[in-house]
Amino acid sequence: MLLKASYDTKPRFWRRVFSVVILATLVIAVWLGVRLSRDRAVTYDRIEDHFKYGSTGGERGSGIPYSVWKLLPQVFPQYLPGRDYAALGLIYEKDQNGNLKDLPIGVSKRNVMGIDRVFVNCAICHVGSVRDTPESAPRIIVGMPSNTVDLQGFSRFLIASARDEQFTAQRLVPEIARAGTDDWINRLGLSLFGISLMRERLLMLGNRFKFLDREPDCGPGRFDTFNPPKALFNFPMDKLPPEEWIGLCDFPSIWNQGQREERKMRLHWDGNNDSVRERNRSAAFGTGATPPTLDRENIKRIEDWLLTAKPPPYPYPINEALAARGAPLYAQYCASCHGKSGSDFSGKDVGSVTPIDQIKTDRARLDSYTLELCVNQNLLYAGYGNERFSHFRKTFGYANAPLDGVWLRAPYLHNGSVPTLRDLLEPAENRPQEFYRGYDVYDPKRVGFLSDVASEKGRKFFRYETKLKGNGNYGHEGPAYGTQLSPDQKDAIVEYLKKF
């Protein structure tokens, strides 16, 4: 009986072991399934915070592992002009405890397949800073151009890091483990394929976008917005005619989109689109969001807010008597193209396109946007119902934009070639031929940012040279534009524009 009892326990023991193994396997499978299907963005209650840090969906397909993002400036400092991303003009805010936030403005985080990933969002181009003096704390202003951000420098840093022989799992993953910014499963994935995949994609992008190196450097607050789409559409970039090579332009402000939509104004610098929502989806490509990865709910929240978002009022004293003398001069020379005021956009030619032969500003950005690109863009979102693009058009000039928040939109003209409003009212030969960009200390007298400062606390600013192709500061001059007025009259117009 004892022998039989002992014999009978063996099958039951192995059945229990088998059951435990099966149960553990199911638990692990469910856990992995939940982890790998995760797609959760960090969310924000305040719409301003959502704009500054919320996801557009770009992390899904283009995201950088958060642990790698944090590590890159430490491992590859030789490719940065300073010690971290702030050296590229990215803005770090302080939290409620007075500590710098973990991510700069314009960078969002989303957990995809169990991995925290980061990438840029709309704020990388549309949030800037203003200081009253070099000693003042910066005021962060949502909706203005990102006057300090060197987006090209950021791209070059990532690509240069990927080209370095130290960009390997053997070099990076142990550092990630020491920092504790990822768990062992993600570190295993990074070791097996994540780091090598990231490196391959960055090298591919570096090769595909190498055409940018034949343009003048962008510097802070500017980028080429329409030649990169040509590369993504597989245009033969090395065979494009020279007149298409340079498409540099300033980041625009983005307030009061509702009025622009109601009036069907031509959008982008050359007026190539008149649909605010289509323009927004087009801009989302720059944040890595494609038709299948776009976070439509998050984008809709931003779109709804921007319809009525307003610029902050001019914060410095205004000479009311001088501004009163400037009002009729503005009405005579400016209002028909730029609106009656910063809130009233009515005017015969507001939102329309002025032919290049009339405005005579640098035409490089206009020529870089071609009919061939326009045709290809109107195929985007095909298969996504009424989201399909259909409003892009090739134009032959630059759009007349309203001047809401004009005091925050320096430097001026589409390529940012004129540092202040006061300079813009001068003939081209009297405008600065070289100046510095990226400094955020304000010049209330001339209305713009101080442009004669080459460096501050070890940070060098970008020297802009108007003699380079695409950087021309000519045009928008002559009797029709007020550049022949007396100095006192020009001062009066500038003083009146402070009210916008």
pLDDT in tens, 119-164: 999 999 999 999 999 999 999 999 999 999 999 999 999 999 999 9
Same domain, 365 and 260: yes
pLDDT at residue 6 is higher than 60: no
pLDDT at residue 234 is higher than 50: yes
Instruction: Tell me the three state secondary structure of residue 457.
Output: coil
**What are the tens digits of pLDDT across the range 60-92?**
999 999 999 999 999 999 999 998 999 999 999
Q: What is the total count of domains within the chain?
A: 2
Same domain, 9 and 128: no
Same domain, 412 and 298: yes
Output the DSSP codes for 49-94: HHHHH---STHHHHPEEHHHHHHHHHH-GGGSSSSSGGGGT----B
Nearest Cα neighbor of 162 from 192, 195, 202 is 202
pLDDT at residue 228 is higher than 50: yes
Instruction: Tell me the three state secondary structure of residue 450.
Output: coil
Same domain, 312 and 460: yes
C-alpha 237/C-alpha 497 separation (Å) is: 42
Distances, alpha carbon 189 to alpha carbons 114, 159, 203, in Å: 11, 22, 20
Residue 12 is predicted with a pLDDT of 79
C-alpha 490/C-alpha 110 separation (Å) is: 50
Angle in degrees, CA 433, 436, 437, rounded to 5: 120
Main-chain dihedrals φ then ψ at residue 199, nearest 5 degrees: -65, -45
Instruction: Tell me the three state secondary structure of residue 304.
Output: helix
Nearest Cα neighbor of 121 from 293, 255, 256, 250 is 293
Residue 3 is predicted with a pLDDT of 46
**Structural domain of 1:** 1-37
Q: Report the chain's terminal Cα–Cα distance, integer Å.
A: 101
* pLDDT band for position 9 (cuts 50, 70, 90): low
Q: Using an 8 Å Cβ cutoff, are 436 and 463 in contact?
A: yes
Alpha carbons within 13 A on the beta-carbon side of 290: 11
Nearest Cα neighbor of 398 from 374, 375, 414, 377 is 414
C-alpha 194/C-alpha 434 separation (Å) is: 44
Residue 470 is predicted with a pLDDT of 97
* pLDDT band for position 8 (cuts 50, 70, 90): low
pLDDT at residue 1 is higher than 50: no
C-alpha 329/C-alpha 178 separation (Å) is: 64
pLDDT at residue 36 is higher than 90: no
Same domain, 247 and 182: yes
Same domain, 12 and 134: no
Q: Which tokens go with 65?
A: 């592992």
pLDDT at residue 4 is higher than 70: no
Nearest Cα neighbor of 350 from 265, 449, 237, 228 is 265
Same domain, 29 and 97: no
Same domain, 30 and 116: no
Q: Which tokens go with 498?
A: 């402070």
* Percent above pLDDT 90 for the chain: 90
Residue 63 is predicted with a pLDDT of 94
Same domain, 401 and 362: yes
Residue 17 is predicted with a pLDDT of 78
C-alpha 91/C-alpha 141 separation (Å) is: 11
C-alpha 401/C-alpha 363 separation (Å) is: 17
Same domain, 365 and 479: yes
Instruction: Identify each DSSP E strand in 304-441 by its residue range.
Output: 353-355, 397-399, 434-437
Identify the helix (H) or strand (E) that includes residue 152. Answer: helix 151-163
C-alpha 122/C-alpha 289 separation (Å) is: 11
pLDDT at residue 227 is higher than 70: yes
Same domain, 410 and 446: yes
pLDDT at residue 2 is higher than 90: no
Label residue 106 left, alpha or beta by phi (over 0 means left) and psi (-120 to 50 means alpha).
left
Chain-wide mean pLDDT for the chain?
A: 94
Residue 14 is predicted with a pLDDT of 79
What average pLDDT score do residues 274-302 get?
Answer: 94
**What are the tens digits of pLDDT across the range 434-462?**
999 999 999 999 999 999 999 999 899 99
Same domain, 17 and 67: no
What average pLDDT score do residues 492-498 get?
Answer: 98
User: pTM for the full model?
Assistant: 0.92
C-alpha 84/C-alpha 73 separation (Å) is: 5
C-alpha 269/C-alpha 465 separation (Å) is: 21
Identify the helix (H) or strand (E) that includes residue 107. Answer: strand 107-112
**What are the tens digits of pLDDT across the range 388-410?**
999 999 999 999 999 999 999 99
Angle in degrees, CA 391, 396, 398, rounded to 5: 85
